[in-house]
Amino acid sequence: MADSKFEPLEQQLEMFIENTRQIGISVADMQPQGQAVLNQKLHQLVIGLQEIDKLRSLVQDVQIPSDVFEYIDEGKNPQLYTKDCMEKSLAKNEEIKGKIEALKKFKSLLVVELSKVFPNEMAKYRQLRGDDRPVTEQ
């Protein structure tokens, strides 16, 4: 249902693009007798822009990340933007998981070493934390 509000705009844009293409062909092969056809096409172009402007209210609430426009400027398919975002997120997630795992290992080693140097204080610390397991080297 959400796509239905985009349909009129999509149709107008397609007509505008086709009209622009036809103007390009007319200008590339311009003949004096073709001026009337060119003027008509230019008039249709202006009307098309007015129609697109009228449809603006239908899509005014749509938010598009600026990265999508950069993607388009780079010649990439904007539909692949979401896929690339997911891949980047998964890679970042794996990186963070690795950091968390490294910190857990560091904490375990730190507790072991501190227990060797400060056994009484670490026993009190573990008791306050509710961790009564014996400290073992890993």
Tell me the percentage of the chain whose pLDDT exceeds 70: 93
The enclosing H or E element of 102 equals helix 81-117
For residues 14 and 51, the answer to whether their CB atoms sit within 8 Å is no
Band (67; pLDDT cuts 50, 70, 90)? confident
Among 8-12, 28-32, 36-40, name the one with the lowest average pLDDT: 28-32
Mean pLDDT estimate for the chain? 87
pLDDT in tens, 70-116: 888 998 888 888 898 899 999 999 999 999 999 999 999 998 999 99
- What mean pLDDT is predicted for residues 34-43? 87
pLDDT in tens, 80-89: 888 988 999 9
Break the chain down into helix, strand, coil percent, rounded to 5: 80, 0, 20
| 1 pLDDT above the threshold of 60 | no
- What mean pLDDT is predicted for residues 1-28? 85
Q: Is the full-model pTM beyond 0.75?
A: no
**Other residues' Cβ atoms within 10 Å of the Cβ of residue 108:** 14
* Distance between CA atoms of residues 92 and 110, nearest Å: 27
- What mean pLDDT is predicted for residues 18-30? 87
